[in-house]
Structure 1
Amino acid sequence: MSGASTTPTEGFLTVTRFARRATIAAALLVAPLGLTLSTAAAASAAPTTKSHVATVKPKPKKKTTTTADPATLETQVVTLTNNYRTAHGCGALRIDTRLVAAARAHSTDMVSKNFFSHTGSDGSSFVQREVRAGYTKGASAENIAWGYRTPQDVVNAWINSPGHRANILNCSSVAVGVGVAYKADGTPYWTQDFGRV
């Protein structure tokens, strides 16, 4: 999906416990509302996808052209995510540099190729991108978003979406990597990758 719209959007993808052996996860992006709520599950080597469209569309935020330090913003997203997880009985996630690399690469890919999807411009799934970054076991989920200007805004959007919240509150996830990249106009694209190892 092109990032041409000015409405902030988010997407998520989860690999269920049955897909731990799968090497490829697929995502189906639902374009009508700009929200992706996909679950990748594979009982065999071939991935399957299911999709559910969210009923609430986020409100657009005021545009600015200034950008903050990406590493600072990424750390703030992790802190906010961990605060929410611990308040709901899950352990805090540790930052894994391999997941950070995968998340940053995907955000940069979406910005540079002007698209918004869990599938990379090269056809890769989040699992493949995590493996490429050296995280070879335990990929669990991915949340993506664009247009949200602050860490608080993007985490709130994910928390207010059932699928994204489920990824955040998946207590079997123990590691996380967040990546943010900016379009020339200052629009941020966010990726949050989770892992179980």
Structure 2
Amino acid sequence: MFLAAGPGWAGPPNEAAGLSLSSEEQAILDLTNQARAKENLSPLKPNAVLFKVARAHAANMAAKGEMKHELDGKNPAQRVEAAGYDYGEVGENIAFSDGLEIAKVFAGWMDSPHHRENILKEPFQDIGIGVARNPKGEVYYTQVFGKQRKKS
């Protein structure tokens, strides 16, 4: 299992209505919000735009067999902006495992200071999650965290 966290880079209304989560995505969302609840933090809300970004990045990593924050010349902030999420702040956690290991991956994120910081960062309000497998059975995970820019 390998983990990586992107620095917190400093969006439209939550468009999660009708968003369908896979059982893997729901498990990661539940673990994330349970960890936040233990710290008396507000739960993160699923955001359709961030889910689109996270799913696409997980699928891209799986297709290329590479676990990187920057693929195809774009970093997390650029992917989020290109998707139309007007962010004030954004962060990303990624991971890789041989086979599906959600609990292990999440524990690894929580044991890593930077990943833990992304999960527990108070300003974050929204989340997108992606889980993708490649033909070798490798699984790639992406969490994208966001806080929408304040409207003036």
TM range (shorter): 0.7 to 0.9
| Structural mapping, 1:148-163, within 5 Å | 149-163=100-114
Is structure 2 residue 89 aligned with structure 1 residue 89?
A: no
Is structure 2 residue 4 aligned with structure 1 residue 14?
A: no
| Structural mapping, 1:20-169, within 5 Å | 20=10, 71-120=22-71, 122-147=72-97, 149-169=100-120
Identical amino acids, percent of aligned pairs: 33
1:9 maps to a residue whose letter is: F
Q: CA RMSD in A?
A: 1.4
Specify every segment of 5 or more residues in structure 2 that has no aligned partner in the other structure, as ranges.
11-20
Give the CA deviation at 1:131.
Answer: 1.5
Specify every segment of 5 or more residues in structure 1 that has no aligned partner in the other structure, as ranges.
1-7, 21-69
Give the CA deviation at 1:186.
Answer: 1.8
Higher relative contact order (CA 8 A, sep 6+): 2
1:162 maps to a residue whose letter is: P
Match of 1:34 in 2: none
- Figure out how many residues of one structure are paired with residues of the other and give that number: 137
Give the CA deviation at 1:88.
Answer: 1.0
Larger Rg: 1
Give the CA deviation at 1:116.
Answer: 1.2
- Rounded to whole Å, the distance in 2 between the matches of 1:187 and 1:143 is 17
Greater share of residues in helix: 2
Asked whether the 8 Å contact 2:93–2:143 carries over to 1, the reply is yes
Length-normalised TM-score, structure 2:
0.85
Give the CA deviation at 1:172.
Answer: 0.5
Asked whether the 8 Å contact 2:4–2:93 carries over to 1, the reply is yes
Q: Deviation per CA, 1:160-183, whole angstroms, max 9, x where unpaired?
A: 111100111101001000001101
Task: Name the SS for the 2:22 alignment partner.
Answer: helix
Asked whether the 8 Å contact 2:8–2:118 carries over to 1, the reply is no
